[in-house]
Amino acid sequence: MKKKLVFLLISVLLAAQISQAEALGKISGLVFMDYYYVANHHNENIEGKNGFWLRRVYFTYDHDLGSSFKIRFRLEGNSAGDFKSSTKIEPYIKDLYLEYDRKETSILLGLSVTPSLGKLVQYWGYRSVEKTALNLQKMAPTRDFGLAIKGYAAGEKIYYHFMLANGEGLKEEVNKEKKVYAVVGFNPVNEAYFEIYGDYAPGSNGLYDVSTFQVFLAYKREKFRAGLQYAYQNHSGGEKDFNLQAASGFAVFCLREKVNFFARVDRMFHPNPNGEKISYIPFDSTSPSTLLLAGFDFEVANDFNLMPNLSYVTYDDISSSDLYLKLTAYFCW
């Protein structure tokens, strides 16, 4: 009886706090989850594994301070995705920044989205299924702590996003150097978009100097969109210099109302030393690779989609391949 009273009291207090928060700002969230089966894998310890993953949970609070100022606080939680950890899902801070928004320009201070995503993730549209190639291969963080300015110019024909940050993503700063990011996009006509991205992070204490260059081209119509991405990254000044080079192409077709087909091909021209550390889809770190991804998107209800899909990875230098079969669910509020 006492436990029920305590639970009821906590529920009432929590509901009161949420109601008060909603009166002051906006609460939102989203969830990506999978049921997965690893039909084949270069790592025999992973082959045959299956289960449920909670790949992303967002809890977001946005608050308008007035006078063009606003704040965002976002927590994220997810499964480890390494096929071996049994750790609990714990939330961590994903976004925490103060934004000054005036006309077509915004200035952000704090932990925010980096320019590496640009508009690519919007055109791809299926982050719930897989990350963009640059992010997937750990070539650039999607969040960093620093100062950023972004916006539009020339009647929204030009998009820009510049950032000066620690360069450690969500991690703590570990050296005295800073990282510079920049992206500029051009939208000459409604159907076409072109984007150039670059970043540079000088190393210290034995770390690499890292520079990245990326171009992205997209085309979009009412029932079809496609994109091409190329990225090059140089690591120099460390124990052994190396380069990473990636290309990616995708297409999305509307088959009928509320049903889409999507497909993507990623090519890594060099072995990725961090390949085995990639969550949910570890790559062999000794060989160049090709990822083939395809699936269907069914809109079951407003803000609720089910997406059966597969990911198939082949390698140049080893005979094994990887095959993941997944049912991905997306919903938001």
Give DSSP secondary structure letters for 258-319: TEEEEEEEEEESS--TTGGG-SSSPPPTTS-EEEEEEEEEEEEETTEEEEEEEEEEEESSSS
By three-state DSSP, how is residue 123 classified? helix
pLDDT of 23 over the 70 cut: no
pLDDT of 240 over the 90 cut: no
Residue 205 confidence (pLDDT):
58
Q: pLDDT band at residue 18, thresholds of 50, 70 and 90?
A: low
pLDDT of 294 over the 60 cut: yes
Note the pLDDT tens digit of each residue in 107-135: 999 999 999 999 999 999 999 999 999 99
Residue 176 confidence (pLDDT):
82
Could you tell me which CATH class the domain 25-332 is placed in?
A: mainly beta
- Domain ranges for the chain, please list them: 25-332
Residue 105 confidence (pLDDT):
95
> In the predicted model, what is the mean pLDDT of residues 4-28?
56
- The pTM assigned to this predicted structure is 0.89
Residue 14 confidence (pLDDT):
47
Q: pLDDT band at residue 2, thresholds of 50, 70 and 90?
A: very low
Least confident of 209-223, 232-246, 290-304: 232-246
H-helix or E-strand containing 151?
A: strand 143-153
Are the CB atoms for 106 and 151 separated by under 8 Å?
yes
> In the predicted model, what is the mean pLDDT of residues 84-90?
85
d(CA 24, CA 168): 32
